[in-house]
Amino acid sequence: MNPALPGEDLIEEGVKDLHAQRETVAGLLVAIGSPRLRRLGIELPETLRENPEDRLYELLAKDDPDSAHSR
């Protein structure tokens, strides 16, 4: 990836997490953006989590339920 891209480190982390089948904030964000990232040539696993938006909300709510939606 090009280090000048905004959020590149987060995307790289998310791609690694998806390949390792770890459910993380970064991985779920990459899963949400997977159609566009694939069009940009970023290789992602064929199978991604279902409903990544919902899973991300649930993961964020574990830490702080009151701010999960705004985060």
Q: What pLDDT does 17 receive?
A: 96
Q: What pLDDT does 21 receive?
A: 92
9/48 Cα distance (integer angstroms): 20
Nearest to 38 by CA among 4, 5, 11: 11
Q: Across residues 24-44, what is the average pLDDT?
A: 93
Name the burial class of residue 56, with classes exposed (0-12), middle (13-18) and buried (19+) by CB atoms within 10 angstroms of its CB: buried
Residue 68 in this model has a pLDDT that exceeds 60: no
The maximal CA–CA distance of the chain, rounded, in angstroms, is: 37
Residue 14 in this model has a pLDDT that exceeds 70: yes
Compare 13 and 68 and report the one with higher pLDDT.
13
Q: Per the structure block, which two tokens stand in for 56?
A: 């991300």
Q: What pLDDT does 41 receive?
A: 92
Q: What pLDDT does 1 receive?
A: 53
